[in-house]
Amino acid sequence: MSIKKDNDKVNNGNILPDSTSIILESISDGVFTVDSSWQITSFNRAAEDITCSPRAEVMGRNCSDVFRASMCEGDCALRRTMASGKSIINKFAFIVNARGERVPVSVSTALLRDRDGKVVGGVETFRDLSVIEALRKELTGRHTFKDIISKNQEMLRLFGMLELIAGNDTTVLLEGESGTGKELFVKAIHALGHRAKGPLVTVNCGAIPDSLLESELFGYKKGAFTDAKKDKPGRLALARGGTLFLDEIGDISPMLQVKLLRVLQDKVYEPLGGTTPLKADVRIVAATNKNLQELVDEGVFRPDLYYRINVVKLRLPPLKDRKEDIPLLVNHFLNKFDQLHGKKTEGLTSEALACLMAHDYPGNVRELENIIEYASVVCGGQLIGLEHLPDNLSHIAAGTQATGLAPAEKPASSMADVEKDFILDALHQNGWNRAATANQLGIHPSTLWRKLKRLNITLPNQDGRNKTAIPTQLSMRKS
C-alpha cells in the first residue's frame, strides 16, 4: 500500500474517517496509527491477522509492546519518520506476533497530520513476507548443498553421490578445472562423514617443493637432518581422526608417489628419521586439475597409486557447462560482498546479466566471484550495469547490447514464476483442495485465492474438497 505522505487528516478528533476505515479494512497490508505518545489509535483487520492480536487488545497500547519488532529498540522506522518528517518505504524487519512467532515484514511509514497541517502522530503499513521468505528459503535449500550452490543436473547428481560416499572412509578423487569448487566438495565430504568432529587438513602438493613435501606429509624425528632440533608431526599425524585433503596430487614426484601408495595400501607411514611405522588414521581425499589417466599413460604418474586413489571419482563440470547456475551465484556473491562492505547493491541490469551469461569463464566460479566483487565496488551500491563490469568483458558487452541475450540462454525465472510453480505443485499434491493447500503453505484460504487470481492459475473442473492432503517435505509453514 502506498502511503499519502502529508495529506492524512484528523477529522473532528477521529483519527480515521469512516470512508478511510472502510478502505483500510479491505486491503491485505496491515495498517496502524499512533499518536504523539506512541499509543495505537487505529488498527485494521490485516494488522490483526498478521500480529494475531485482536484490535480491542492493542488500542491505546504502546506500539513497541504489540510488535516487538527487530528494529523497535534501535532503528524504529516510524520514530525516524516522526523525527525527520521523511517517509520510509519498504524497510525489512521482523515482528513477533502474539503466538511468539517471528514474522518477516516490509514496513513503510509516514506522518499523520490534522486539517491545519499539524503533526499529530504517525501511520505505518506492514506487509507479511512470510510466503516470500519461505519461497526464498525453499529455493536456497533446493540449490544449496553444504555451501555448494547449483541447480545444474550433473551437480545435483554429484550432491547425491556425496551423501552416498560420505559415511565411509572410501578414498575420493576430485577432478576438475581450477576454480570449479573442489575444496567445497572436500568440506562437504568431511562434514557429512563420521570423521566430521576430527580435523580437516589440507596439503597443496603443487605449492610445496618436493624436498619439503615429504617432511610436511610424514613429519620427522629429532636428528633426522641438520636442522631437526625436535620431533615434528606431519600432516598425516595432524589429520588423525579426520580427513587429509591432497590438493593437486598430480604434481607429486615419483619417489613420493611410492611412499603415498604405502599409506593408502597399508594405512601406515614412517616419519623421516623414524624406524617405527605409525598408523595413518585418516580419510584421504585427493584433487587435481589434470587428467591423471593421461599422466599414467605418459608414465608420469604411477598406475598402482592412481587405482588406489581412484576408488570414487567425481568430475566437477566447469562453469561454462552449467550456466544456469550463474544467476544463483551472482546473487550469492552480491549478498556476500554487500555484507562485507556494509551496503546494499540493487542487482544487475538485464544487459549485465546477459553479458555474464555469454562469458565462458576460463577461471570458473572463482573468476565470476572476482567479477562480482569488482562490479560491486565500482557501482557504489547501485544497479550493476555493463559499465561496471571489468574491461576484459567489453567485447561481450558490445555483443549483448547489439543482440540481447545469447540465443542459447534464457533469463532467470521471476519470483512470480517461482511462486506460481510452487503453488501449482502444492495444489497438485493436495488433489487441488484449496483449503488443504492453504494449510500446507501456512496461509489463509482467502490469501491463496487472491494469489490464484493474481498469478492467473486456473483450477481443473473437479471437487478437491474430499481429497486428503499428501504429506510433503516442502511445507512452507511459519516457523
Give the residue-averaged pLDDT of 87-106. 87
For the chain, give the mean pLDDT. Answer: 82
User: Which has the higher per-residue pLDDT, 17 or 275?
Assistant: 275
Contact 401, 364 (CB under 8 A): no
Binned at pLDDT 50, 70 and 90, residue 416 comes out as low
What residue type is assigned to position 344 of the chain? K
CA distance 259 to 269: 8
C-alpha cell, 363: 577461471
Residues 113-155 pLDDT 10s: 888 889 999 999 999 988 877 776 666 556 667 788 888 889 9
Instruction: Dump pLDDT digits (tens) for 31-46.
Output: 999 998 999 999 999 9
Task: Tell me the C-alpha distance between 198 and 194, whole Å.
Answer: 9
Q: What does the DSSP assignment read for 193-252? A: STTTTS-EEEEETTTS-HHHHHHHHHEE-TTSSTT--S-EE-HHHHTTTSEEEEETGGGS
pLDDT tens-digit map of 183-209: 999 999 999 889 999 999 999 998 998
What are the pLDDT digits (tens) for 332-360? 898 888 888 877 887 888 888 889 998 99
In the chain the domains, ranked by start, together with CATH numbers, are 18-128 (3.30.450.20), 147-315 (3.40.50.300), 322-403 (1.10.8.60), 414-479 (1.10.10)
The grid cell for 250 is: 598430480
Of all residues in the chain, the percent with pLDDT exceeding 90 is: 42
CA–CA separation, 140 vs 345, rounded Å?
19
Structural contact between residues 120 and 37, judged by C-beta atoms closer than 8 angstroms? no
Which position has the grid cell 492453504?
A: 438
419 in Cβ contact with 131 (< 8 Å)? yes
Split at pLDDT 50, 70, 90, the class of 400 is low
Q: What is the dihedral of CA 135, 136, 137, 142, to 10 degrees?
A: 90
Measured distance CA(419)–CA(451) in Å, rounded: 9
Amino acid at 355: C
User: For position 1, what pLDDT does the model report?
Assistant: 39
Contact 121, 112 (CB under 8 A): yes
CA nearest neighbour of 129 among 92, 99, 96: 92
Q: What would the pLDDT profile of 232-255 be if each residue is shown by its tens digit?
A: 889 999 999 999 999 999 999 998
